[in-house]
Amino acid sequence: MDLDYTQQQRAFRVEAREWLEANVPAQALQSMDTEQGFAAHREWETKLNEGGWAMVSWPVEYGGRGVDLIEWLIFEEEYYRAGAPGRVNQNGIFLLGPTLMEFGSDEQKARFLPPMAAGIDVWAQGWSEPNAGSDMAAIRTTAFRDGDHYVVNGQKTWCSRAVWADWIFCIFRTDPDSERHRGLSFMLVPLDAEGVQVRAIEQLDGETGFAEVFFDNVRVPVDQLLGEEGGGWKVAMSTAGFERGLMLRSPARYQATARKLVALLRDNPEAAQRDPTLGDRVIRGWMQAEAYALQTYRTASRIIGGGSIGAESSLNKIFWSEMDLAMHETAMALLGPRAELLPTARAAGDVGDWLDGFQFALAGPIYAGTNEIQRNIAAERLLGLPRG
């Protein structure tokens, strides 16, 4: 691993910074979990694509710039430094996109990747079911072959971005006699297909970042099967690796949070006098964010050299989710009683968006596979411990 940037990488950073400074919206966009906010974020995805910044590490023919993972990390650092909007198509570009690169046919890549990069097709994730949350191998939604189609019946739940998205990627049980992770298949389904019903799940804040999706004899063309029939578990585990590993949560996200936390401590010195441990917690959060960045650079260098990430992604997921929660808990402690106020409240002062961030961070140890499951994976596959 080379700890210095090349001249080309420095020039790439300057180009990204200048484009973002000229194009990032001056006002924060409305939440992407509202209809208006979702539309505004889709427009932002279109602008990113027009500038060539939608997904820089993808090949040029699919809407990218063909750069390597180091330059992708550089772009992410500049993206978060600029305060750019969240990525409404993160399920597509960060999870399904890399999976299509690995398992998709040439026809599937040409069909799905360019509109994904352009924000024309926004993707939802559909893995969990009412009785199969983190235990994806327990899914019961079925698909059986009927000529050139599969016929799908069942229900998915907690489907991220499904309320206003265009497509959803799912795993279905295509072998009725199979158990656990065998006999599953990974499919791509348009959410406006006949027989698909999407029902929004309202969160505590009234917004709808999730939905239930019901399938009633939905006919899915065979050419929308990703990978082999019955081989969906292998494809899904690749997607999960991208979700827990490098792509979904880049270190720049947490470095930005750490910088905000340091600024919050400086703006609230009386809090540190009230509780001397808060300063230490802020320093620990900043150091962990920097350590995660260095670790990610090392992982990216190894992948560029032909390596892979594998079960190590479970350690990444445990680390970034618990680090994020700890930093937001520290921010709430620094703010004291004001931490529970909305930014629009009369006495809110400098609370900013810490409450929103804290509520989201609470979910970190749960989504993308609970941390308890990740610890089991690390124990069995990295440490070689026996199954309990």
The residues assigned a catalytic role are: 243
* The total number of residues written for the chain in this structure: 388
The string over 302-329, giving b where at least 16 C-beta atoms fall within 10 Å of a residue's C-beta and e elsewhere, is eeeeeeebebbbbbbbbbbbebbbebbb
3-state secondary structure of 312: helix
Q: Which two tokens stand for residue 115?
A: 């509109």
Q: Which two tokens stand for residue 181?
A: 């992770």
Q: Decide if 98 contacts 242 (C-beta within 8 A).
A: yes
Q: Minimal CA–CA distance to 231: which of 289, 181, 156, 281?
A: 181
DSSP, res 150: E
Q: Decide if 94 contacts 248 (C-beta within 8 A).
A: yes
Which CA distances in Å does 27 have to 34, 49, 242? Answer: 17, 20, 31
Beta strands (DSSP E) in 63-164 are 123-126, 142-146, 149-156
Tell me which amino acid residue 84 is.
A
Phi-psi region of 68 (alpha: psi -120 to 50; beta: other; left: phi over 0): beta
Phi and psi torsions of 164, nearest 5°: -120, 10
Cα 35 from chain centroid (whole Å): 20
The kind and range of the H/E element at 196 are strand 196-201
Which CA distances in Å does 335 have to 265, 284, 293, 345? Answer: 9, 18, 27, 14
Q: Which two tokens stand for residue 272?
A: 């540190």
Q: Decide if 278 contacts 272 (C-beta within 8 A).
A: yes
Which CA distances in Å does 346 have to 36, 339, 341? Answer: 26, 13, 9
